[in-house]
Amino acid sequence: MNPNESLDGTLTGLRVVIDAGPTYEDIDPVRFLGNRSSGKMGFAVAEAAARAGAEVTLIAGPVALATPAGVARRVDVRSALQMHAAVMQAVQGADIFIATAAVADWRVAEYSARKIKKGARGTPVLELVENPDILAEVAARDPRPFVVGFAAETDHVAEHARAKLERKKLDLLAANHVNEEIGIGADDNALELIWPGGSETLPRASKSELAKTLVARIAAHYHARHGKPA
């Protein structure tokens, strides 16, 4: 982040909702489908937004992270359906929604209340059903907050990200360059910011530095839209 760029007060008076981390989709009482998201990026964004003066609600999937300083409210959830319900409630009247969570695309069609045993019935076949797309659903609301999405891409980052921005009708999309060293689960990240009128590369940095830059950009885009200086 440019050292002269200050976050102070750029989001004062605004309600910001952020979802973060993975979701776990339970199969039976001991097994689940999950993913490698650590929640670090979302928590760093929540901390930066709070530092910028926002009233932050953080909806967290299962992560081992302390609530960042200044976050007004934290709601812990486990599954995509729980995250969906918590976000839909929190975004009512919110000014900005930032979807950093790695929401599971699918859940099992039928949860088994008893542990599935090896043996007689052979190898189980899991039937999956699609989870709601929380980000697209928030973007389809009227009125809606300023909507920021994330995307994890391994190749053709800009093209895939722009297609996602348009498909989900987002105001801004932050695309992760995911490879073995950066992105999901790692401490560093790099982002390609895409919006309907342009794009910008935020070069590789620690997730907390990058989160500050991202929040400064979100504030600038939000205020440009609402006709106020950032």
Q: Residue 157 corresponds to which tokens in the numbers above?
A: 């980052």
Among candidates 22, 16, 92, which has minimal Cα distance to 58?
16
CB nearer to ligand CTP: give 135 or 194. 135
Stretch that binds ligand CTP, among 2-10, 98-106, 112-120, 187-195 (CB under 6 A): 98-106
189 is catalytic: no
CB nearer to ligand CTP: give 131 or 213. 131
Q: How far apart are CA 115 and CA 215, in angstroms?
A: 44
- For the CB of residue 174, give the shortest distance to ligand CTP in the complex, in Å: 8
Query: Which of residues 26, 133, 220, 223 is near ligand CTP by CB under 6 A?
Result: 133
Rg (CA), the chain: 18
Integer CA distances (angstroms), 201 to 99, 163, 169, in order: 19, 17, 21
Does position 86 interact with ligand CTP (CB under 6 A)? The reply is: no
The DSSP secondary structure of 156-182, one letter per residue, reads SHHHHHHHHHHHTT-SEEEEEE-SSSS
Does position 37 interact with ligand CTP (CB under 6 A)? The reply is: no
Q: How far apart are CA 200 and CA 118, in angstroms?
A: 52
- For the CB of residue 114, give the shortest distance to ligand CTP in the complex, in Å: 28
Query: Which of residues 44, 90, 91, 134 is near ligand CTP by CB under 6 A?
Result: 134
Stretch that binds ligand CTP, among 4-12, 53-61, 115-123, 149-157 (CB under 6 A): 149-157
Q: How far apart are CA 207 and CA 215, in angstroms?
A: 12
Query: Which of residues 14, 18, 90, 99 is near ligand CTP by CB under 6 A?
Result: 99
Question: What's the residue count for the chain?
Answer: 230
The site for ligand CTP, by CB under 6 A, has a size of: 14
Catalytic residues: 35
Contacts with ligand CTP by CB under 6 A lie at 80, 99, 101, 103, 105, 131, 133-135, 149-152, 164
